[in-house]
Homo-oligomer: A and B are copies of this chain.
Amino acid sequence: VNLIIADSELELVPPEMAKHPQVKESAKIRGKPATEILLDSTNHFKAIFGEQRRGRPDIVHVCLLLALDSLANQQGKLKVFVHTRNDVIIEIHSSTRIPRNYNRFVGLMEQLLLVGKVPPEGTPLMTARKGTLQKLVDELGKKAVIFDENGKTKRIGELHLGDKTVIIGGFPSGDYLSKADGQKVSLGSEQLCAWSAVAYALSSLEL
How many copies of this chain are found per oligomer? 2
Choose the segment among A11-19, A62-70, A80-88, A122-130 that binds chain B (4+ C-beta atoms closer than 8 Å): A62-70
Tell me whether A65 and B193 are in contact in the complex, defined as CB-CB below 8 angstroms, given that A71-B188, A187-B71 are known contacts: yes
Inter-chain CA distance A206–B71, complex, in Å, is 19
Inter-chain CA distance A104–B41, complex, in Å, is 13
On chain B, the residues within 8 Å of A207 by CB distance are 155-157, 207
In terms of DSSP, what is the predominant structure of the interface of chain A? helix
Inter-chain CA distance A65–B59, complex, in Å, is 11
Q: Give which listed residue, B42, B102, B196, contacts A66 with CB less than 8 A.
A: B196
Encode contact with B along A116-158: 1 for CB under 8 Å, 0 otherwise: 0000000000000000000000000000000000000001110
Interface size on A, residues (CB 8 A): 34
On chain B, the residues within 8 Å of A188 by CB distance are 71
Does A202 count as interface, using CB distance less than 8 angstroms? Answer: yes
Minimum CB–CB distance from A41 to chain B (whole Å) comes to 9
Is there contact, CB below 8 Å, between A206 and B155? Answer: yes
Inter-chain CA distance A204–B70, complex, in Å, is 15
On chain B, the residues within 8 Å of A70 by CB distance are 196, 199
Encode contact with B along A69-106: 1 for CB under 8 Å, 0 otherwise: 11100100000000000000000000000001111100
Tell me whether A71 and B196 are in contact in the complex, defined as CB-CB below 8 angstroms, given that A156-B206, A156-B207 are known contacts: yes
- Residue in chain B with minimal CB distance to A156: B206
Is there contact, CB below 8 Å, between B206 and A200? Answer: yes
On chain B, the residues within 8 Å of A104 by CB distance are 42
